[in-house]
Amino acid sequence: MKGRVLVFLMVLCLLFVSFAVSYGQQASKDPVLADVHKAKGLQCASCHEKGKKVKVDDNEAIPNKQCVVCHGNLSTLSKKSKHEINPHKSHLGDINCTTCHHGHKPSTTYCLSCHNFDIKIPAGTVSAPLPSIKLPEIKEIPKGIKTEKTDIVVVGSGAAGLSAAITAHDKGAKVILLEKMPITGGNSQLAAGGMNAAGTKFQKEKGINDSPDIMYEDTMKGGKGQNDPALVRILADHSAKSVEWLTELGADLSDVGRLGGSSVNRSHRPKGGAAVGAHITQVLKENATKRNIDIRINSRVVKILEDKKGNITGVLVEGKHSGLYRINSKAVILTAGGFSANPEMVAYYQPAYKGMTTSNQPGATGDGMQLGEKAGGQLVDMKEIQIHPTVAVGSRILITEAVRGNGAILVNREGKRFVNEITTRDACSAAILKQTGKTAFLVFDEGIRKSLKQIEGYFHLNLVVEGNSIKDLADKLKIPSDVLEDTISTYNKAVEAKNDAEFKRPDMPRALKTAKFYAIEVMPGIHYTMGGIKIDTETKVINKDGKPIKGFYAAGEVTGGVHGANRLGGNSISETITFGRIAGQKAAEFVRSKR
């Protein structure tokens, strides 16, 4: 009897302890949005469908519709924000609420995968985790896997993918567009400078004399002659048509400026010189939506399927909620972008660039090159990687060359200059990498700040350290202030004498003498990958024997050959539209021939 009581007491004790432990865990876990809403009396059905077993598609369409019903859309919410940087209004355009706010795990502010501004999200942590750089290895396709059917699958929703999808749709094909990230737009959405085109009506209106032949010459010269001449011919010859096509879809590309390596003004962008990428990806997305094209985010293509003869038959997709499934299609268009945000791939092709940051969106992990190669495609120019010397440390934000152009200097942790700041991108990058900590401080004063409007953005984005004097700035940067004072005074003397005896900087427009003094910590970053899948002039993917693979097309940064050893600014957006359209057209023609 006594023994039984003891056992009973022991069991009770154990139950209590385990309850206390689990309760403790519960209490220490931060509430997620579903809990926050439950506490307000809002049950599951407020975010999900009433009376049904909860099912969420990869676009998370129903929960997002529900958020807007109760809270309003981004535009209404943005009017409420007290912050200078408004998470509900940005260059990303109209994105899902669930890009940042999650139902059952801590919310994460997507903006912080590129920026480092100080902003907190309710029921969540600060920054979003980076997507995996590894493509899952799928040896065997599971039996009985869910299977769908369409004419054409497009892989990646940047400018190339959207252009291909719209064109193929307009030629009568049924299209599914897959994007692995929670937003569409890829790197295309970030392009700022412009879109190169030769012989446009906008150039003619401004009296600019340009021709496809001059664009061809500039591009070949920029690429050190390593480019595929037939592809460059297409880039140049179709460029004006591509601007026209975008204009017909509703884009404004009426402003024309100049980017490095072009011998005339041919870089097209919206009126007033606004960023080109955010604008055109939004116009393209609106057009795709208007056409009811099936766009699926949170949907990563993990394998391209082929039959025994090597002809393409579809893709395997890993959906955030739907898991692994298969789409059978007559053609696949690969538009998955570059690999600048895959440090392992970058270090493999260019060991010297190991550990470098990047200006690219976190999804630029080179899936496309890996998928294409596994499906038989040939890779070209993979070692050709473009770096940019000044990406802000702690973010992915590129600091424009114009800051140095307008007079800023670079100093190291010892407080000294170490390079002619306006030398070529690769030489300047190499010099920074030789400094302590492999970073440098871009130092400027009030005069330089006033000379360049773009600099204000870096202040908004919390990238700039400020000092009331040179000493104050040096103290904040934790570098020796006497050395920094010396460095700046020597530099100012060189400006006055128009002779930089130390580093032979040819152009020194301003001395650094007006308080406040400012610094942005910068490091070289991977900016663009020239290499990729080999294609022919019809965007057909070429196999290792030099023959086109049936049903397989590719366009945009995932391909190699257009830019040779070095891409000119403005040529990439041009490439995505021109080759994206050709891919859409050729794939649709191929599909029709199989009917």
As measured in angstroms, the least distance from the Cβ of 263 to ligand FAD is 17
Q: How many amino acids of this chain bind ligand HEC (CB under 6 A)?
A: 64
CA distances from 496 to 282, 459, 505, 507, 577 (A): 48, 29, 13, 12, 47
C-alpha distance across the termini of the chain, in Å: 84
Report 63-82 residues binding ligand HEC (CB under 6 A): 63, 66-71, 73-74, 77, 80-81
62 binds ligand HEC (CB under 6 A): no
Q: Which does 215 bind (CB under 5 to 8 A by kind): ligand FAD, ligand HEC, none?
A: none
Distance CA 278, CA 94 (A): 11
218 binds ligand FAD (CB under 6 A): no
Rg (C-alpha) for the chain, rounded Å, is 27
259 binds ligand HEC (CB under 6 A): no
Question: By C-beta, is 267 or 412 nearer to ligand FAD?
Answer: 267
Contact in structure between 270 and 254 (CB atoms under 8 Å) = yes
Report 335-374 residues binding ligand HEC (CB under 6 A): 361
Report 270-299 residues binding ligand HEC (CB under 6 A): none
- For ligand HEC, which stretch binds (CB under 6 A), given 103-111, 234-242, 380-388, 471-479? 103-111
Q: Which residues of 532-558 are buried (b: 16+ CB within 10 A; e: fewer)?
A: bbbbbebbbbbbeeeeebbbbbbbbbb
Among 181, 512, 523, 587, binds ligand FAD (CB under 6 A): 181
As measured in angstroms, the least distance from the Cβ of 35 to ligand FAD is 31
Q: Which two tokens stand for residue 250?
A: 């509703």
CA distances from 519 to 175, 412, 428, 589 (A): 49, 11, 17, 55
Question: By C-beta, is 362 or 407 nearer to ligand FAD?
Answer: 362
Q: How many amino acids of this chain bind ligand FAD (CB under 6 A)?
A: 44
Type of residue numbered 415: G
Is 592 a residue of the active site?
no
Instruction: Report which of 555, 545, 563 is spatially closest to residue 586, judged by C-alpha positions.
Output: 555
Distance CA 157, CA 275 (A): 18
Contact in structure between 220 and 331 (CB atoms under 8 Å) = no
40 binds ligand HEC (CB under 6 A): yes
Question: By C-beta, is 32 or 191 nearer to ligand FAD?
Answer: 191
585 binds ligand HEC (CB under 6 A): no
126 binds ligand HEC (CB under 6 A): no
Distance CA 447, CA 513 (A): 8
Q: Which helix (H) or strand (E) holds 589?
A: helix 571-594
99 binds ligand HEC (CB under 6 A): yes
Write the interaction track for ligand HEC spanning residues 184-213; mark x where CB under 6 A is met and - where it is not. ------x-x---------------------
β-sheet bridge partners, residue 358: 526
Contact in structure between 230 and 222 (CB atoms under 8 Å) = no
**Would strands 323-334 and 312-319 be described as parallel, antiparallel, or unpaired?**
antiparallel
301 binds ligand FAD (CB under 6 A): yes
As measured in angstroms, the least distance from the Cβ of 152 to ligand HEC is 27
Q: Which residue in the list 425, 449, 567, 592 is annotated as catalytic?
A: 425
179 binds ligand FAD (CB under 6 A): yes
DSSP for 225-294, written as a single string: T-S-HHHHHHHHHHHHHHHHHHHHHT----EEE--TT-SS--EEESGGG--HHHHHHHHHHHHHHHTT-E
As measured in angstroms, the least distance from the Cβ of 490 to ligand HEC is 30
158 binds ligand FAD (CB under 6 A): yes
Q: Which helix (H) or strand (E) holds 379?
A: strand 379-380
- For ligand FAD, which stretch binds (CB under 6 A), given 75-83, 89-97, 193-201, 467-475? 193-201
Identify the burial level of 464 via C-beta atoms within 10 angstroms of its C-beta, where 0-12 means exposed, 13-18 middle and 19 or more buried. Answer: buried
Instruction: Report which of 249, 246, 244 is spatially closest to residue 200, judged by C-alpha positions.
Output: 244
303 binds ligand HEC (CB under 6 A): no
- Residues at the contact surface with ligand HEC, assessed by CB under 6 A: 33-34, 36-37, 40, 42, 44, 46-48, 54, 56, 60, 63, 66-71, 73-74, 77, 80-81, 83, 85, 87-88, 90-92, 95, 97-105, 109-111, 113-115, 119, 121-123, 190, 192, 321, 361, 396-398, 400, 454, 457, 460-461
Active-site amino acid positions: 425
The footprint of ligand FAD (CB under 6 A) covers 155-161, 178-181, 186-188, 190-195, 276-277, 300-301, 335-337, 359-360, 363-364, 367-368, 398, 528, 556-558, 569-573, 576
